[in-house]
Amino acid sequence: MAKAFTNLMNDRAAAEREKAGASGSPDAGGEGQIVRRMKVETRKLNFFYGPSQALFDISVQIPEKSVTALIGPSGCGKSTFLRTLNRMNDIVEGARHTGEILLEGINIDGPEIDVVALRKRVGMVFQKSTPFPKSIFENVAFGPRLTGVSDRRELEEIVSTCLKRAALWEEVKNRLTDSAMALSGGQQQRLCIARALATNPDVLLMDEPASALDPASTSRIEDLIFELKENYTIIIVTHNMQQAARVSDMTAFFYQGHLVEMGQTQQLFTKPREKHTEDYITGRFG
Amino acid sequence: MISPADMNPPTSTVVNNELRQALTRKSAVRPAEVAFSFLCKSAAWSSLGILCVLVGSVMWKSWGYLDWQFLTSFDSQRPELAGIWAGLLGTTWMIFLTFLTAIPIGVGAAVYLEEYARDVWFVRFIRINLSNLAGVPSIVYGILGLTVFVRMFDLFAREAIVARLTGHIVEAVVILGVEIPLPLGTTLAAGALTMSLLILPVIIVATQEALRAIPPSLRHASLALGATRWQTVRYQVIPAAVPGIMTGIILSISRVIGETAPLIVVGAVGFARFAPGKIGSLSDLAHHPGGLLEAPFGKYTVMPVQIFNWVGQARQEFQGVAAAGILVLLGLLMLMNGVAIIIRNRYQKKLRW
């Protein structure tokens, strides 16, 4: 049963890939070599909180099924950038932006876009784990319930699949009706990941998901990110440079609202193009 | 383990007499400390003492009057036959009808103010006035209720606007076979609506505080899962706020049970030998279930008004009857508060914080 759900998810992804291929994917070029489709893209994104500008001309391309780390000192705009991608900034009064944000080539700011549907496809995990004050089961089932899934068997299937994907199933399978608040910090964070997976997203945004956790829990989350990469496009904000180096394929360095440099993680950490980046990753400032 | 003997070079401990001096207590007790704790203790116990004296003296006065006959009889001119049954039923109806209107309106208003309204001057103005309204004397609400519900601005009077527009003198409307008088007049419904106005500020303010205490991260987490604003409020925010809302309700139950002045103004009857809707017993209910719909639109009395009426009687024996009424009133108050607290605690457990 669980497998059916997984297959369903994969089938959908495959169908979409075909569809995109037929209509000519934007990055279909590069003769002979394997082309990775871009999942998320921004073009000249400027972001403002009231009168103050938080992001300047950010243009990035993030390939699907990869992990992209956003690094930079506090207040550099990386979290703001992350929150524009599922329009969580909409709820901030006085926030506005210019430029384009594209999810698989579709402008997510278009007037016809349903922000509620968008957020189901672009899941988010916060820095502080935020389990609902309900049972473990109800936490994961909340998303599917919103979309109208009410069949108990179906919900159980989704809950177990998502908890397995979030590497939490073995620890909680015998106490799904216990309060989520009783879990440890690391377990709560994995529960939040499972909860985000339950709405069947294909992009996962993570805002410093391990910064409040001990080293053992952090390493579990990192392993999990590595596994999830197979099916999801992950964008992670982190303060921890080693973490960025360990888990990500691409890294983007933000400084004072500007995107200083973005590239393959290995290249950025070993041969940064910009002096600024080098200073930051070697700990000379920040 | 390192023992001093293993250490190299050998160690020695010198007693620091200056330090011993500084650490030695100057006197066995600190007088200010003792006096302050005594004052606090006596303040706490004196309030309990006063309550005991009060209840004790009321019990003493009520001796011989508080019995089963008193609980189950209607009022009477003769003190030994007088009972509080009409008031007990009236107060129960009053609580039910008041919360039936006050909870949805109060919680709705608070949810709007906290979850939806933008922070503009008009909303701030409403917020400030809500706190002020909670402090308005109850008699003022009585006069408000008299104008708005009992008389309905005299809109339905002869020569008034309704008569002129329709050409008829409207005295009532019939909905689902129940005759609703217009204006409401001195009915239970008018009384309950007046009491709703009285407790609305308390419920709104308590609910607002409960909503404010819920971390924004809970809302963000819900929104990030693709929940709409309404789904977030309905499934996450309000359930988490229930214990706080219940606190507001518990505070207002006491007011609904105890308020006398506004109900006298809006026409609660002092001497009543009837039950609301003519349902005074289970057999009445079986024979005449329609009375449940008629009760809100008929005359009524409540316990404090009955007690007020007894206290004003010339015959000395009625003081004992009034004392018995006060005990029943306190009993009902504790019962209702107890039930509300149990509900709140059960909900708190269900929340699994």
Instruction: Give the CATH number of the domain where residue A94 resides.
Output: 3.40.50.300
Residues B187 and B263 in one domain: yes
DSSP letters for B95-152: HHHHHHHHHHHHHHHHHIIIII--S-HHHHHHHHHHHHHHTS-HHHHHHHHIIIIISG
Interface residues of B toward A, Cβ cutoff 8 Å, are 118-119, 215, 217-218, 220-228, 231, 235-236, 240, 351-353
* B311 falls within a domain: yes
Taking the CA atoms of chain A, what radius of gyration do you get in angstroms?
Answer: 19
* A31 falls within a domain: no
A90 burial level (CB within 10 Å; 0-12, 13-18, 19+): middle
Residue A263 contacts by C-beta under 8 Å, 6 or more apart in sequence? A250, A251, A273
Mutate to test the interface with B, among A108, A116, A208 (most CBs of B within 10 A): A116
Residues B136 and B234 in one domain: yes
d(CA B247, CA B233): 19
CA distance B353 to chain A (A): 5
* A167 falls within a domain: no
Give yes or no for a contact between A141 and A151, defined as CB atoms under 8 angstroms apart.
Answer: no
- Tens-digit pLDDT profile for residues B97-155: 999 999 999 999 999 999 998 888 998 999 889 988 888 999 999 999 999 999 999 88
Q: Which residue of B has its CA nearest to A146?
A: B227
Residues B287 and B230 in one domain: yes
Token reading at A95: 């926030």
Residues of A in contact with B123 (CB under 8 A): none
* B153 falls within a domain: yes
Domain total in chain B: 2
pLDDT at site A34: 62
Q: Provide the Cα torsion B139, B140, B145, B146; round to 10°.
A: 80
Residues of A in contact with B225 (CB under 8 A): 119-120, 123, 142-143, 146, 195-196, 199
- Tens-digit pLDDT profile for residues B295-341: 999 999 999 999 999 999 999 999 999 999 999 999 999 999 999 88
* B26 falls within a domain: no
| Inter-chain residue contact A126 with B217, CB threshold 8 Å | yes
Give percent of chain B with pLDDT exceeding 90.
64
* A173 falls within a domain: no
| Nearest-by-Cβ selection for B226 from A130, A146, A181 | A146
Residues B48 and B156 in one domain: no
Residues B155 and B246 in one domain: yes
Mutate to test the interface with B, among A127, A146, A200, A235 (most CBs of B within 10 A): A146
Q: Are strands A233-237 and A203-207 parallel, antiparallel or unpaired?
A: parallel
- Tens-digit pLDDT profile for residues B169-203: 888 888 888 888 889 999 999 999 999 999 999 99
Residues of A in contact with B119 (CB under 8 A): 93
Residues of A in contact with B217 (CB under 8 A): 126, 128, 130
Q: What is the mean pLDDT of chain B?
A: 90
CA distance A130 to chain B (A): 6
Give yes or no for a contact between B193 and B297, defined as CB atoms under 8 angstroms apart.
Answer: no
* A257 falls within a domain: yes
| Nearest-by-Cβ selection for A119 from B226, B351, B352 | B226
d(CA A125, CA A208): 8
Residues B91 and B197 in one domain: yes
Residues B209 and B336 in one domain: yes
Give yes or no for a contact between B220 and A205, defined as CB atoms under 8 angstroms apart.
Answer: no
Domain range for A115 is 36-134+201-281
* B10 falls within a domain: no
CA distance A179 to chain B (A): 5
d(CA A139, CA A150): 14
| Nearest-by-Cβ selection for A91 from B223, B225, B352 | B223
Would you call A206 an interface residue with chain B, using a CB distance cutoff of 8 Å?
Answer: no
* B306 falls within a domain: yes
* B17 falls within a domain: no
Residues B185 and B198 in one domain: yes
* A53 falls within a domain: yes
Longest Cα–Cα distance in chain A: 57
- Tens-digit pLDDT profile for residues A100-151: 999 999 999 988 999 999 999 999 999 998 999 999 999 999 999 998 999 9
CA distance A274 to chain B (A): 35
What is the phi-psi region of residue A65: left when phi exceeds 0, alpha when psi lies from -120 to 50, beta otherwise? left
Give yes or no for a contact between A82 and A97, defined as CB atoms under 8 angstroms apart.
Answer: no
CATH code for position B160: 1.10.3720.10
Residues B174 and B235 in one domain: yes
pLDDT at site B206: 93
* A264 falls within a domain: yes
Give yes or no for a contact between A132 and B236, defined as CB atoms under 8 angstroms apart.
Answer: yes
- Which residue intervals of A43-102 are DSSP H helices? 78-84
| Inter-chain residue contact B221 with A132, CB threshold 8 Å | yes
Locus of tokens 């950010």: A58
* B204 falls within a domain: yes
Per-residue pLDDT, averaged over B75-90, amounts to 93
Taking the CA atoms of chain B, what radius of gyration do you get in angstroms?
Answer: 30
Q: Which residue of A has its CA nearest to B216?
A: A130
pLDDT at site A29: 43
pLDDT at site A8: 46
Residue A168 contacts by C-beta under 8 Å, 6 or more apart in sequence? A187, A190, A191, A194
Single-letter residue type at A260: V
pLDDT at site A286: 54
Residues B55 and B143 in one domain: no
Residues B48 and B125 in one domain: no
| Nearest-by-Cβ selection for A135 from B118, B226, B352 | B352
Per-residue pLDDT, averaged over B21-44, amounts to 90
* A143 falls within a domain: no
Whether pLDDT at B89 is above 60: yes
Q: Are strands A233-237 and A250-255 parallel, antiparallel or unpaired?
A: unpaired
Domain total in chain A: 1
The residue ranking higher by pLDDT, A47 or B13, is A47
Token reading at B134: 């909670």
pLDDT at site B261: 93
pLDDT at site B163: 86
| Inter-chain residue contact B224 with A93, CB threshold 8 Å | no
d(CA A220, CA A237): 17
Question: Which residues of chain A fall below pLDDT 50?
Answer: 1-4, 6-9, 11-31
Whether pLDDT at B348 is above 70: yes
* A86 falls within a domain: yes
Residues of B in contact with A86 (CB under 8 A): 224
Residues B97 and B209 in one domain: yes
A148 backbone dihedrals φ, ψ, rounded to 5°: 100, 5
Domain range for B177 is 67-351
